[in-house]
Structure 1
Amino acid sequence: MNQGIALFLGALRHGEFESLLDRGIPCGALIDSNTKLHLPDLARFQVVEKFDFLRPEAELLGVLKEIQAKCGIRCMMNVIEHYVGAFARLAPQLGLCGISQRSAQICLDKHAMRQRFVQRIGPNVTGRFREVQTEKQLRDFAAEVGFPLVLKPTNLSASLFISMNHTLDALLASYQRMVAEVPRYYKQAAQKDKTFAVQVEEFMAGSNHSIDCWVDAEGRVASTPVVDVLTGADVGIDDFHHFARITPSRLSREERAEAARLAEAGVEALEVSTSIGHVEFIQTPCGPKLLEIGARPGGNRTRILAMTYGIDQAYACYQILCGETPVARPQKEQPSAIVTPFPRQQGTLRSFCNLDRIRSLPTFLYHEVRGRVGQTVGLSKDGYKAPLYIELTGDTWDEVRRDVDCIASWTDLIVVD
């Protein structure tokens, strides 16, 4: 095996790299100086450098080549949606394996992605959708499909700026707000290369779930276990943010098998290879329907798969990028959850109220405060991310779920004004 580090590009989070270090794999990171993510302790990394990813990509490539000359790069790893495009463009210029630019671009465009689902799998595999550029197009789609309707940018993740709309007035107001705010968000979030576009979608009623698929260089797919997701709407908040991820899934064995088949068909439709495909789907009364697929591991999925099943997804990603074919084999089953509470309203973060009650929960394992007092926080539909991160694990699913519900009931946990 060639020597060199596993170099993380842009940013990374707790739970996405530790197992590599434990296996003796040297790691490094080139951190985007613009990232707003809460970065973990990287003291064990061989190299940690910062670079302004708003600079020309040729300069970024130059820095990567300097790291490659100094340390050697065994593979380059990306765990963040924002860096998928740069990763796909840069990896081949460094002689490294990675997802193709063609597949990456489809995964970054929700409209192109939905079109592929319909073309390659069938018309009923997802909800009805349309890219819109005018209010008239919105009105026409609403007249054809009816309410409720979901409105979203075609190229953002983490439920940012996604809204549920029950009336035409609400739909038009959401569209106007998106036109005003999303381009500004691109600029603030160092995503100046993105083109603003909006998609309106039929709302698919059902429960939210995800599967991370491991796809090797030959396109062979291995599915990891289903992760159940509670959204803000599931805990009484008008927002699509992911409030909690809970495992093992409560879907039946037959439903899980059907979902895995659909997830694998989805990544194949998008021609994903040499990558992990993060597949989100809705379990409807008519079966699973594809929502979207990301060309990277799901947020918090690497950690929860390790907590519940002993599955090392970080190492699987490393193997894929080194030209190997990993096997998804659960080693245990311990009910777990990762909870990321959001404030109920937008405002200035003042404090967290009585964090000791989190630590006193029967299934409490770990938590991180990711928000900073004085910063503006809010819901994902307004462009914000969770200021708090909590891990739970217990002997039974019911114990874990009780503590998830307990956290959901603490409406005073995040204090804003």
Structure 2
Amino acid sequence: MKKKNIILFINVASAGSVSSLKKYSRKIGQKFRVAVIRDNKNKNGQKQAGDLGVDILFACNLDNPLEIEKELLPYRKEFLAVTCRGEANMNIFSKVIPHVPYLKTPTTASVLWSTDKTYMRKMFRAYDKSITPKFTIVSNTKKETIKKIKDKVGFPLIMKPAGLASSLLVTVCYHKEELVNNLRTAFSKIRKIYTDNSRDTVPKILVEQMMEGEMYSVDAYVNSLGKIYFCPFVHFTSGRSMGFDDFFCYKRNTPTTLKKESIKAGELVAEKAIHALGLRSSTAHVELIKTDDGWKIIELGPRIGGFRVEMYQLSYNIDHSLNDILIRMGKKPIISKKINGYTCALKFYAKKEGRLISLKGINKIQTLKSFKDIKKYKKVGEQCKFAMHGGKGVCDVVLFNKKRPELLADIRRAEKMVEIKTKRGK
């Protein structure tokens, strides 16, 4: 009888996930094989498994169910688990799920509900309307549509494209003129994105009440029966609160200063959101806001949150990548709540859009005692855009210190060191 020891990854198997799996393999004395399935239209789709650091590579037309079945069927009895990292890969995950029917996976419906903001809000409201803000969904900028928004949601409000990544084209509107202009701009950009990605769906925008309060997020593991294992909370600082005319997560910190009772209340609301979407056999990334009226859900994703692998490892010695696999294998995740220290992840954007002409402080940051990692996404000469216009950050910095005051001091130093200059035009 063939051994069930293949862990199937969607599109890519990160080096961290493969490393965690190898450590676990040595610990329990069981060998695992790593497989990746990706579209053969992908520019790297024709690479060999060894080039990608995996044991098996499946490459086929993922828009053709028969091709997926043909690729996976010979290995069906050898698959142990399937996992997916990254919001951009969830559409592929949905196509693969029907072809691994005997593995522990979320349903294709729950993946859709948790990646499309309109479905998500509707499901939240049907389950418990107290956990979600007032909202409406629009597909045009007609007068009756604007009136519906004013009557149903009111100002200030937030616009979010239904099926795009979390910060992409997210905009705050304080009055009617701003709403009309931003809607027109957003629909124009969404249509272009959809055309570029061969998506034939009608662009829709979620318009919801803007909530006031402190923002947090928490990752959790949901087993096949809906039991939830929560990781520690992470505090968000938005770019808007730091003076950017943009809506993105500028700073993430853990541990937080939340009291136990408040954490329990937040977990209860997060649990309702997870169950509202019927999510199972998955990691869940839940974003929340703590308002005067209690905890509310911003959104939820069927995936690991940004920076969570590094942050949970540094502050709690939690192997988030491994736990994401374990929960899909039907095993209990390993979660430590012991605090090793304090972690901060900073995402730097340019204050003004334009061509990057200068990026200073990158080398200096690496001399800080709290420094752990830095990733650069822009080179001098490249264009910098705000998140709401589809842009990505210039660089990310991860800091860690066993002492909170020393971390806070280094955060301040890092913020002063980084200097990003742009110039209008190409």
| Deviation per residue, 1:50-78 (Å, 9 max, x gap) | 9687x624376268528948x95432221
Q: Tell me the equivalent position of 1:280.
A: 287
SS in 2 for 1:289: strand
| 1:168 maps onto 2:169 in alignment | no
Q: Tell me the equivalent position of 1:8.
A: 9
- Cα distance, 1:16 vs. partner? 5.1
- Cα distance, 1:191 vs. partner? 6.2
SS in 1 for 2:232: coil
Distance 1:22 1:235, change over 3 A: farther
**Bigger Cα displacement from structure 2, 110-119 vs 263-272:** 110-119
Q: Please, which of 126, 132, 135 is the counterpart of residue 138 of structure 2?
A: 132
2:22 is matched by which residue type in structure 1?
Answer: L
- Cα distance, 1:313 vs. partner? 1.7
Q: Please, which of 212, 219, 232 is the counterpart of residue 225 of structure 1?
A: 232
Contact 2:58 2:71 in 1 (8 A): no
- Cα distance, 1:360 vs. partner? 2.0
> What is the CA–CA distance in structure 2 between the aligned matches of 1:353 and 1:30, rounded to whole Å?
40
> What is the CA–CA distance in structure 2 between the aligned matches of 1:384 and 1:51, rounded to whole Å?
30
- Cα distance, 1:161 vs. partner? 0.5
Q: Tell me the equivalent position of 1:154.
A: 162
Q: Please, which of 316, 321, 331 is the counterpart of residue 323 of structure 2?
A: 316
Contact 1:262 1:288 in 2 (8 A): yes
SS in 1 for 2:191: helix
| Deviation per residue, 1:321-345 (Å, 9 max, x gap) | 1122325333433100122211223
Percent identical residues: 23
| 1:364 maps onto 2:364 in alignment | no
Contact 1:211 1:224 in 2 (8 A): yes
Distance 1:413 1:196, change over 3 A: same
Q: Tell me the equivalent position of 2:47.
A: none
What aligned pairs does 1:385-396 form with structure 2 within 5 A after superposition?
A: 385-396=392-403
- Cα distance, 1:134 vs. partner? 3.1
> What is the CA–CA distance in structure 1 between the aligned matches of 2:168 and 2:13, rounded to whole Å?
19
> What is the CA–CA distance in structure 2 between the aligned matches of 1:244 and 1:14, rounded to whole Å?
25
Q: Tell me the equivalent position of 2:96.
A: 90
Q: Please, which of 258, 268, 273 is the counterpart of residue 275 of structure 2?
A: 268
Distance 1:46 1:63, change over 3 A: farther
**Bigger Cα displacement from structure 2, 247-256 vs 173-182:** 247-256
Q: Tell me the equivalent position of 1:289.
A: 296
- Cα distance, 1:175 vs. partner? 0.3
> What is the CA–CA distance in structure 2 between the aligned matches of 1:14 and 1:142, rounded to whole Å?
48
Distance 1:67 1:312, change over 3 A: farther
- Cα distance, 1:35 vs. partner? 9.1
> What is the CA–CA distance in structure 2 between the aligned matches of 1:381 and 1:219, rounded to whole Å?
34
> What is the CA–CA distance in structure 2 between the aligned matches of 1:129 and 1:416, rounded to whole Å?
38
Contact 1:16 1:303 in 2 (8 A): no
Which residues of structure 2 form unaligned runs of 5+? Answer: 26-31, 45-49
> What is the CA–CA distance in structure 2 between the aligned matches of 1:287 and 1:231, rounded to whole Å?
19
Contact 1:151 1:200 in 2 (8 A): yes
Contact 1:92 1:98 in 2 (8 A): no
> What is the CA–CA distance in structure 1 between the aligned matches of 2:380 and 2:58, rounded to whole Å?
24
Contact 1:103 1:272 in 2 (8 A): yes
SS in 2 for 1:344: coil
Distance 1:139 1:28, change over 3 A: same
Contact 1:208 1:281 in 2 (8 A): yes
| Deviation per residue, 1:186-206 (Å, 9 max, x gap) | 343x36265421111100011
Number of equivalent positions: 408
Q: Which runs of 4+ in 1 moved over 6 A?
A: none
2:84 is matched by which residue type in structure 1?
Answer: N
2:188 is matched by which residue type in structure 1?
Answer: A
Q: Tell me the equivalent position of 1:340.
A: 347
| 1:404 maps onto 2:375 in alignment | no
| Deviation per residue, 1:365-390 (Å, 9 max, x gap) | 11122334544331210012223121
SS in 1 for 2:352: coil
**Bigger Cα displacement from structure 2, 393-402 vs 155-164:** 393-402
2:20 is matched by which residue type in structure 1?
Answer: S
What aligned pairs does 1:89-238 form with structure 2 within 5 A after superposition?
A: 89-95=95-101, 96-121=103-128, 123-135=129-141, 136=143, 137-188=145-196, 190=197, 192=199, 195-238=202-245
Contact 1:213 1:263 in 2 (8 A): no
> What is the CA–CA distance in structure 2 between the aligned matches of 1:48 and 1:352, rounded to whole Å?
41
Contact 1:316 1:326 in 2 (8 A): yes
**Structure of greater relative contact order (alpha carbons < 8 Å, 6+ residues apart):** 1
SS in 2 for 1:384: coil
Which residues of structure 1 form unaligned runs of 5+? Answer: 37-41
| Deviation per residue, 1:395-415 (Å, 9 max, x gap) | 222332333344444562365
Q: Rg larger in 1 or in 2?
A: 2
> What is the CA–CA distance in structure 2 between the aligned matches of 1:325 and 1:193, rounded to whole Å?
40
The CA RMSD measured in Å over matched residues stands at 3.0
SS in 2 for 1:225: strand
Q: Tell me the equivalent position of 2:28.
A: none
| 1:65 maps onto 2:72 in alignment | yes
> What is the CA–CA distance in structure 2 between the aligned matches of 1:323 and 1:249, rounded to whole Å?
30
